[in-house]
Structure 1
Amino acid sequence: NTNDTAVVVLRGVFDVTDSLTAYAAYGWKWGGYDALISRSTLLNNAGDISITGIRSARDGRQQSCEIGLRGDFMTGAVKHEWNISGNRFTSDNTFKDLQIPIAARTNYYNLSFGPAPDLTRYDAMGPTSSA
């Protein structure tokens, strides 16, 4: 199993005047994983376990940004606060999954998982994109 992720987060705030503030933020994440994930189900009090697996790989990039102004002003004795902003989010991902159809059985008190699963079909699959 591998997991490789990088993240960048930047944020800035600038007081233009006592009643006006500008702000901006940017975030970027790249990462993914490549794993054989198992799911185990305890079948009875004797410790029998059923195990199924999923071979899964993910890779993706997400970006977000925001920019805005906020401030306040008075009209007589009443103070008003306001904010205006814009933002954007993008996400591009590739993934491939294969549920391994054969469930292995073992016992909690005498673990034996048998041979490794045949991943020939998974290795031949191309990734799916969600761009």
Structure 2
Amino acid sequence: MATNTTNYNFKKPDESDFYSIQDQNNNWDKADAALKDLDTPTFEDYSGSTTVPDAATAINSIRSKGKLSTILSNMKAAFKGACLIGQIVNNCVTNNAKLPLSAAQGKALMDLYTQLNSDLA
């Protein structure tokens, strides 16, 4: 008597069963549909109310043999939370307020600010 596989419910005929081309075609249709789903994976895009984990947590959550959707979500969170080197402003010549300031440049500005306040006193 035929049995079915656990994950995709493919029909597995018993050795004593009559071979059915229709059963084989149905198995291939299920496999084809499952493989097609891999072409366009869905993952958390953090555009809704879901909070974005910090970059370190997201990077630590990327594991091998994980679900593709989880890996993609964590990669997106890591990139969203991580500051890319090319975006750090180190010379105060940008007018883009959304770019991060380097720690060295921030310290230089703070030193100038402190000096200005002491000169006024």
Query: In which range does the TM-score fall when normalised by the shorter chain?
Result: under 0.3
Tell me which of the two structures has the higher relative contact order, counting C-alpha pairs closer than 8 angstroms and 6 or more residues apart.
Answer: 1
Larger Rg: 2
Which is strand-richer, 1 or 2?
1
Normalised by the size of structure 1, how large is the TM-score?
0.19
Normalised by the size of structure 2, how large is the TM-score?
0.20
